[in-house]
Chain A
Amino acid sequence: AQRVTQPEKLLSVFKGAPVELKCNYSYSGSPELFWYVQYSRQRLQLLLRHISRESIKGFTADLNKGETSFHLKKPFAQEEDSAMYYCALSGHNFNKFYFGSGTKLNVKP
């Protein structure tokens, strides 16, 4: 069965500290992995996807098929990174996405 697990509901770090938001998945096949972000009072939006292997706003995520993980990392957190982050996966047809329960990141000054 498809499943996305984000073990941390809340993650608090100080500005300038490294941050890692954890995501593990189970999927019968080769999934496409994504991170979505929702800033306060804004709509949910795509942050990055593993197939593009890009870095957005300093965030990166590496797909580890052995550990079935797709953790989101940033070396130096900024206050404007405070938001709700969702990990998601889909099949190759992108028809349906499965979301984790979300991690709220709080970056303190």
Chain B
Amino acid sequence: DVKVTQSSRYLVKRTGEKVFLECVQDMDHENMFWYRQDPGLGLRLIYFSYDVKMKEKGDIPEGYSVSREKKERFSLILESASTNQTSMYLCASSYRDGYTFGSGTRLTVV
């Protein structure tokens, strides 16, 4: 019954590493999103995509990039991980009835 899958539940990376967070959806949704979730700050949009090879910056894109080579897959890339990127990362896809979220990836940068 899982419809949005994030490949890792927990990740620990070192400062300066390049980090890839993967997200796959099986609902044929065109819209996909990456958020980070931090206590007291709620969900903040990093990047989103309305179609294959298309991407748009959200509210906090600095330090991140994305890739959408196939409709079902939306990857978040941390070019050079820093400790302030330690967070819970949520992927979502959407259609008219709202978002479907993945279970999240808790990333710790040490």
Contact = CB atoms under 8 A, between A and B. Distances in A.
Interface string B12-30: 0000000000000000000
A27 interface: no
A95 B31 contact: yes
Contact of B42 (A43, A46, A86, A94): A86
A97 B103 contact: no
A44 B96 contact: no
B50 interface: yes
A74 interface: no
Interface size on A, as a range, is 20 to 34
Contact of B50 (A9, A86, A95): A95
A59 interface: no
Nearest to B44: A99
Contacts of B97: 46, 49, 94
A45 to B, nearest CB: 7
Contact of A49 (B33, B41, B98): B98
Contacts of A46: 97-99
A43 B103 contact: yes
A80 B43 CA distance: 23
Nearest to B48: A96
B43 to A, nearest CB: 4
B50 A43 contact: no
Interface in B66-105: 90, 94-99, 101-104
B43 A94 contact: no
Given A43-B103, A43-B104, A44-B90, A94 B40 contact: no
5 contacts: A49-B97, A94-B31, A96-B33, A99-B35, A102-B43
Interface of A: 6, 9, 34, 36, 42-46, 49, 86, 88, 90, 94-97, 99-102
Interface of B: 31, 33, 35, 40-43, 45, 48, 50, 90, 94-99, 101-104
